[in-house]
Structures are given as structure tokens and as C-alpha cells.
Chains A and B, each alone.
Chain A
Amino acid sequence: MNVSRSNEPRPLDVVPSFELRIVMASDPRFLSVVRHAIAALAEVLGSSEAESRATVLAIDEALTNVIRHAYHGEDNRPIKLACTARGLRLDLRITDQGEAPDMTRICAHDPAAPEPGGRGTHVIRDVMDVVSYERTREGNRLTLRKEFSRHA
């Protein structure tokens, strides 16, 4: 659904903000729910459709990597997603309690090669403005940031 936007300028002191926290099981069926939530949020923030789709893909790939690589396909492990939107900036933290990512495998393959795997981390790096992996007391944490372009 398209949201019609007023042409009137927004007052300078009004900065749209939104916080979303999701705690989900590592069940791939929930990925669609997250995608639709992020897409709706990106639309409200004013991103273009193409930028929104790319961002949704990058976040989906990050969650997919948690399910496949941190939890090895187990579908009942916890994933936390904290998402904060302010202005045109989207900040995300994805936390899991699975195996730590193997940093040597991140962006290790040529994505243009006709081989099945290894594209997810390239998408995340290419689309997002900030990508940071760290190990915390809570578990593995992936921090992502996207600055959307102002869309007419």
C-alpha cells in the first residue's frame, strides 16, 4: 500500500522515531514477518522502493546466517532484533547465542562465480552503511546501520 505524503515541509523539531524489538525463534517461517515489518518501516521513513527492498534483503540475509550458521538450522533458538529508526537512519542489532561467526568466511567468495553459496555477507556489506560483528556477554551481536536517501 502506498502512503500519500503531504507536500508541506515538516517542522524542523519533529524527527520521526520508532523503536521495534523482536524476540523470535530461529524458525525460518518467521523471516517473512520481519521482512514485512522492516519494509513497512522503510516506507514510512521515506525510502525508495529499491532501497527498501535492498535493506530488507540485507537484514533477511543476516537473520538467515544466524539460523544456518550460528544455530546450524535449529529452529527453536532465540534471536533478538532491536531496530531503531530516527529520521532517515535505521539502526539494528541482531543478537544470538549460537556459534560465533567464522570471520574468514565472511565475504570470502566471489559473488559473481557460478557457485551456490556465499552471497549473503556480500549483500549485507554492499547494502548497509555500517556492519560490525562482535562477541558480547549476551552472545554474538551484529550491528547494522542504513542511512536512507531522501526520496522525493
Chain B
Amino acid sequence: MTTLVRTSEGTRIVDVTGEIDLSSSSALRRLLFETLQGAERLAINLAGAKYIDSSGIATLIEVQKEAQRAQKEMVLFALSTPARDVFALTHVTKVFRILETEAEALKP
């Protein structure tokens, strides 16, 4: 898994590429919590997520709960087909705000 953190129009964007599983989800968790600390809005780009397991889903839920606690916004966008399948299989599609494009993700 590789990640890239960037800023666009006041939103911190994290591009996640590769496989998110038990070997990488704790590193992703650390990065997302750190990034959320310095941001009002966090948008996570899953276009390059070739795989995500339930530990990755759990990580995203933990970060979202922290965002809600801190009254910040977190969105997901551009889910890859494998990620979309896993979100459906794990019944979390309605747990997150999921958008199609980065342009949509930048709109408050």
C-alpha cells in the first residue's frame, strides 16, 4: 500500500493505492488520524485500492467516528471496483458518504 497526502481547495486528500489488509491497515490508520488532526475536511481517494479487507473497513470507520467527534467531515471518493464490492459485502455502503469524483469530494 502506498499513500499520498495533498491539499486541494482546503480539503486534505489522501490517495490510497494498492492493497489494504492486516499488514497495512494500522499504518493507514496512523496516517489518516494524523492527517485529520490538521484538516477540517478529509477526502480519501480509493480509486487505486486494489484490495481492502475488513481491517481496512474498520480503520475507515474509526477515522470517521473521530471526524464526527471533532465535528469535521470525512468523505470517500472514486471507489475502485474491488473496493466497491467489499463495501457491499461488508454492508458498509451506507455507513460512509461515498462520492464518485474528486470534484464532488471537494464540495462541502
**A-to-B contact residues, CB < 8 Å:** 27-29, 31-32, 35, 50, 53-54, 57, 60-61, 64, 67-68, 111-112, 114-117, 119-120, 122-123, 126-127
Contact = CB atoms under 8 A, between A and B. Distances in A.
Interface of B is mostly: helix
Contact of B61 (A27, A57, A115, A127): A115
A28 B23 contact: yes
Contacts of A117: 54, 58
Nearest to B29: A116
Contacts of A27: 23
Contact of A28 (B22, B57, B59): B22
A64 B89 CA distance: 17
A123 B52 CA distance: 13
A50 B85 contact: yes
Given A112-B91, A112-B94, A116-B61, 10 more contacts: A27-B23, A28-B21, A32-B23, A57-B53, A57-B89, A61-B53, A116-B58, A117-B58, A119-B92, A123-B54
B73 interface: no
Contacts of A31: 21-23
A60 B22 CA distance: 9
A112 B21 contact: no
B55 A64 contact: yes
Interface of A is mostly: helix
Interface string B35-70: 000000000000000010111011101101100000
Nearest to A120: B54
11 contacts: A31-B22, A57-B53, A67-B22, A68-B22, A112-B92, A114-B92, A117-B54, A117-B58, A119-B90, A119-B92, A122-B91
Contacts of B99: none
B62 A116 contact: yes
Nearest 8 A/B pairs, CB to CB: A28-B23, A116-B58, A28-B22, A111-B91, A119-B54, A112-B91, A119-B90, A120-B54
B54 A64 contact: yes
- Identify which of A50, A57, A112, A115 gathers the most chain B CB atoms within 10 Å of its CB: A57
